[in-house]
A and B are shown apart, each in its own frame.
Chain A
Amino acid sequence: MAPLQLVPLISLAVFGLITPPAGLLRGGRMRLRPAPYLGILGLLIALGSISWFILVNYQPTALGALRFDLFTYFFGGILIGTSTLVALASLGFTKGDPNEAPYYGLLLLSTLGMVILAASQDLVLLYVGWELMSVPTYALTAIKKRDVLSNEAAMKFFVLSAMSSALLVYAISLIYGMTGSTSLVDIRSILVNIAVSQPGVKPFGVIALVLFIVGFGVKMAVVPFHMWIPDAFEGAPSTISALLASGAKLAAFAAAFRVFIFGMGTFQVDWYSTFAILAIVTMTLGNVAALMQKSFTRLLAYSSIAQAGYLLIALAVTTPTNTLGLAGAIFHSLNYGILKTATFVAAAAIATKLPVTDLTSFNGLGKRMPQTAFGITILFLALAGVPPLNGFFSKAILFTGALNSPFSWGPYLAIAALLNSGFSMGYYGWVIKRMYLDDPADASRLPEPRSYTRILWLAVILTFAIGIYPQPWISLSQSAATSLLSIVS
């Protein structure tokens, strides 16, 4: 009998496999659409069982290469939650699409890959999860088969992402050659004294680290490898952009936390400062480029690059004695997942009603689409980190973690992040000003699709709820951060 911890994974796998064939049942005289509801049912079962494990029956266990600790459950909840939001928002978009059933099947399988990625403590399983997450997203990006832009986005995304997977396997091969093991627990214990016992193999570890940074960095949107992000997000269907921006990126961060902070945390090479430099470059370039964009989706894409820079701080400052930065990053992942998914859903809502989504068409949107405009305003304020909303608390913890770090450059990193955070208000505020203060060329009221506004209201409520009462979430992410660094047998 399979252990109970596997229920979320099995639910995603089973429903992901049966959803596409179930789509064949559609048609005839019955107006039946079994596929989307089966997909959402699978996601809800997974989400429900994960919350049950967090709330009722939390017991850290390791099942072979999978590890079920609070980190896994917390990240699993975030990832499945964002996928559920994406699935719910897609209900209107996929109606009548011949590829509706594969769409939900691929969405579930990709989510399964993300959860495996967050749960794996073995490099073999980590790689399997990585591919299971990536390959469905290529197909999802190209799901509009006759759309040239969607195809071009998929092509650019595929080339860089395939390169990242290949380099990841090469990095795994080097680590395997160094330590003779693929289990992160073994790697951690072998790397402790490898610099003393086998000084010759240390450079292999450095090369492996660099390849890991490149491999994960493509998905995490770290700056030298961010070129595909704006193109892919603009060309892909907006709901899939939401999945790529939140789910895929956060899963890559979860895997990076596992590999760098847990697996290679004992390796005596100063990769902390590398991540600090990458973090500063990423957030600065993301914010500066976002300020210059004329299209709303590209602005969102660059803002998501800037947010990746904030999350990178955790990789730069987390040591076994200072897990505050990691706790902040885990909490920020939750907020970022909600906020980014919802902003892309808002973009999808606008894209269905307006022919072009450049920023001039946002003039006076507060009067034309009041619900959507209100949603975007709240979400943008939270992304910028305005106090009563949830983004403020996670950023505050993250930056405090940087201040408390044992490295001499910690305070500078915190100051850079703080300056960037203020700077990002420039373009967020600019969009808000356009929506409420500028006069539109055409002031007609536009209808707002229900499937999108539902998600927006849900996200706004969550934003306020977490922001007003953040205490349980903060303590939960702090225990998740400590659970990452403890060894579970």
Chain B
Amino acid sequence: MVAPGLAEIFYYLGFIVVATLVPIIALFLIVTPRDAKPSPMKLETYEAGQMPSGRGRTRFIIQYYPYLLIFVIYDVVAMFLFAWALTLRTLQPPGSGTWPILIFMGVLLVPLAYSIHLASQRDLW
């Protein structure tokens, strides 16, 4: 049995209403009150009241980007390690969690080494 309040019709009706109405209302809110008179000034990028000068884009130093990507993927792996560390003492029989985590780390190390090798190859980027 799920929590008792869940069974009430109100909540799923609210769900449907919210999920359908919010996009529709928001679309209308954009379209209706707006005054469609584009002028060169309006189409400029907003820069705190100043006239924008130059391009907004600067050159991005790409050589660290592959390491960032590797980090994005590998930092979530720490969660699995936390889960493993929390349950390590309670696992029965003792020590049965060791081999799975070693295999897990081994599986992760192969692509890690490969991706670090690729990240160091400047001409690929």
A-to-B contact residues, CB < 8 Å: 13, 17-18, 20-21, 24, 98, 177-178, 180, 198-201, 203-204, 207
Contacts and interface: CB of A to CB of B under 8 A. Distances in A.
Given A200-B8, A201-B7, A178 B2 contact: yes
Interface string B99-114: 0000000010011011
A17 B111 contact: yes
B110 A200 contact: no
B79 interface: no
Nearest to A198: B7
Interface of B: 1-2, 6-9, 12, 15-16, 107, 110-111, 113-114, 117, 124
Contacts of A199: 7
A20 B114 contact: yes
Contacts of A203: 9, 12, 16
Nearest to B1: A198
A323 B64 CA distance: 56
A195 B113 CA distance: 52
A24 B117 CA distance: 10
Nearest to B11: A200
Given A200-B6, A201-B6, 7 more contacts: A17-B111, A20-B114, A98-B124, A198-B7, A200-B8, A203-B16, A207-B15
A20 B112 CA distance: 12
A17 B9 contact: no
Nearest to A199: B7
23 contacts: A17-B110, A17-B111, A18-B110, A20-B114, A21-B113, A21-B114, A24-B117, A98-B124, A177-B6, A178-B2, A198-B1, A198-B2, A198-B7, A199-B7, A200-B6, A200-B8, A200-B12, A201-B2, A201-B6, A203-B16, A207-B12, A207-B15, A207-B16
Contacts of B117: 24
A367 B62 CA distance: 51
Given A200-B7, A201-B7, A204-B12, A21 B2 contact: no
B12 A177 contact: no
B23 to A, nearest CB: 14
B107 A17 contact: yes
B114 A180 contact: no
A200 B9 contact: yes
B9 A21 contact: no
Q: Which 3 A-B pairs have the closest CB atoms?
A: A200-B7, A203-B12, A21-B114
Contacts of B113: 21
Contacts of A13: 107
Nearest to A20: B114
B114 A177 contact: no
Nearest to A17: B110
A18 B114 CA distance: 10
B13 to A, nearest CB: 8
Contacts of B1: 198
Contacts of A201: 2, 6-7
A180 B6 CA distance: 13
Contacts of A180: 2
Contacts of A21: 110, 113-114
Nearest to B114: A21
A13 B16 CA distance: 42
A199 B8 CA distance: 9
Contacts of B9: 200, 203
A102 to B, nearest CB: 9
A177 B3 CA distance: 10
Contacts of A20: 111, 114
Nearest to A177: B2
A256 B12 CA distance: 25
The residue in B1, B12, B124 that gathers the most chain A C-beta atoms within 10 A of its C-beta is B12
A18 B12 CA distance: 49
A92 B7 CA distance: 60
A151 to B, nearest CB: 16
A98 B121 CA distance: 13
A184 B93 CA distance: 29
Contacts of A98: 124
